[in-house]
Amino acid sequence: MYKLCIYIPETHLEEVKQAVFATGAGRIGDYDSCCWQVAGSGQFRPLEGSQPFIGQAGEVERVPEYRVEMVCADKLVDAALAAMREAHPYEEPAFDLWKLDDRCN
């Protein structure tokens, strides 16, 4: 089991969550579409050669984003990451993926 944490601009929050949930991520026992989310502010500076969804190369950008965490079974990780990358508007989505202790299953 893994925990997937994705940083998503608020404009695409539901679209990205639904794409990842459709792979089976976010399932806990007899419940699906399970996640925890919190609003915050992301910061980044696109470098030369980038194609940012928001902002311009060389300028720091601050964006309202959500941190969304969900569990993901081992066999679903590749599909969940592919769905996240497909639905996410950023050229380089920010995310974390943690392997959970077996006692969490």
Going along the chain from its start, the domains and CATH numbers come out as: 2-99 (3.30.70.120)
102 pLDDT band, cuts 50/70/90, is confident
Stretch (H or E) spanning 71: strand 61-72
6-30 b/e (C-beta count within 10 Å ≥ 16 → b): bbbbeebbeebbebbbebebbbeee
Q: What is the pLDDT of residue 69?
A: 98
Query: Residue 50: helix, strand or coil by DSSP?
Result: coil
Nearest to 4 by CA among 37, 45, 47: 37
pLDDT in tens, 6-44: 999 999 999 999 999 999 999 999 999 999 999 999 999
